[in-house]
């Protein structure tokens, strides 16, 4: 069963080209804004658990701030190196809240 949980307010959400860390029910999330569209990924990099939400955006990827692994914002699949991934979560804006769907 999944549920929609509040991640942050709309005003707190990152501006285009930015990422941030947030928490949804105890789950650490990286919230990214690319061209005004929000995406939610697991915050912990599978390499050494670097905080993706403290990284940055390049194209359609979030770059881990520790050793620059790159994850596609929609699929969570790594573009560098190959064959790595993080979870991705449905995200939506409901009124003044940004919600994420956690399984
Ligand atoms: S911890 Fe993310 S690239 Fe090393």
Taking the centre of ligand 1 as the mean of its atom positions, its distance from the CA of residue 94, in whole angstroms, is: 33
Question: Sign of dihedral through CA atoms 3, 88, 96, 24?
Answer: positive
pLDDT (tens digit, 9 = 90+) per residue, 75-91?
999 999 999 999 999 99
Among 20, 25, 9, residue whose Cα is nearest residue 43: 20
pLDDT (tens digit, 9 = 90+) per residue, 37-86?
999 999 999 999 999 999 999 999 999 999 999 999 999 999 999 999 99
Domain boundaries, the chain: 3-102
Q: Which CATH superfamily is domain 3-102 in?
A: Rieske [2Fe-2S] iron-sulphur domain (2.102.10.10)
Taking the centre of ligand 1 as the mean of its atom positions, its distance from the CA of residue 52, in whole angstroms, is: 8
Q: Is 38 exposed, middle or buried (0-12, 13-18, 19+ CB in 10 A)?
A: buried
φ/ψ region of 95 (left if φ > 0, alpha if ψ in -120 to 50, else beta) reads left
């Amino acid at each position: 069963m999944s549920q929609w949980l509040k991640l942050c307010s709309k005003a707190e959400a990152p501006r285009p080209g930015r990422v941030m860390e947030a928490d949804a029910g105890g789950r650490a999330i990286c919230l990214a804004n690319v061209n005004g569209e929000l995406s939610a990924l697991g915050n912990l990099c599978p390499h050494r658990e670097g905080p993706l939400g403290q990284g940055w955006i390049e194209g359609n990827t979030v770059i881990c701030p520790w050793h620059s692994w790159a994850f596609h914002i929609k699929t969570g699949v790594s573009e560098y190196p190959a064959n790595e991934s993080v979870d991705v979560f449905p995200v939506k804006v409901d009124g003044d809240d940004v919600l994420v769907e956690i399984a």
